Amino acid sequence: MLVDPGHIHDEVGEACLDSLIETMDKDGLRIMDVGLIIVTHSHPDHFEAASTIAERNNALITLSKEEDDFYHGIGNKLYEVLGARLSPISPLFYLKEGDLTLGTSNKVTVQVLLTP
């Protein structure tokens, strides 16, 4: 599970995704092992790299219905006005408040809290 993978490149051209991958490698984690990407909210500095990572290793993406509606509505229009060209987010399922249990043999439970 990876939460909010961030930018691919930030506003000054820094390679954020490459930096994330390098830092994970140093910590003994591999980006290719990520099976689920959780997007907490649809600001580019939180989700821009999600689709790229998902495409590389067939990871699934999830976020709340409210955030998906924002992204595909006014958020996307706002980002276009600002000159941002973002990859689409295609969630497999929507996050809902409460416990979310992940995994099969080594289960992990995370608590989802939606904040406006």
CATH code for position 95: 3.60.15.10
Tell me the average pLDDT across 79-86: 81
The domain in which residue 16 lies consists of 2-112
Q: Which two tokens stand for residue 7?
A: 């930018």
Reported as a single tens digit per residue, the pLDDT across 30-73 is 999 999 999 998 888 899 999 999 999 899 999 999 999 998 88
Quick one: pLDDT at residue 10?
83
- Asked if residue 20 lies in contact with residue 6, where contact means CB atoms within 8 angstroms, the answer is yes
| pLDDT of residue 116 exceeding 80 | no
Dmax of the chain from CA atoms? 46
- Asked if residue 42 lies in contact with residue 50, where contact means CB atoms within 8 angstroms, the answer is no
| pLDDT of residue 20 exceeding 90 | yes
| CA atoms of 19 and 115, how far apart (whole Å) | 28
| pLDDT of residue 22 exceeding 90 | yes
pLDDT class for 96, splitting at 50, 70, 90? very high
The pLDDT mean for the chain works out to 91
| CA atoms of 94 and 48, how far apart (whole Å) | 18
- Parallel/antiparallel/unpaired status of strands 108-112 and 98-102: antiparallel
In the chain, the number of structural domains is 1
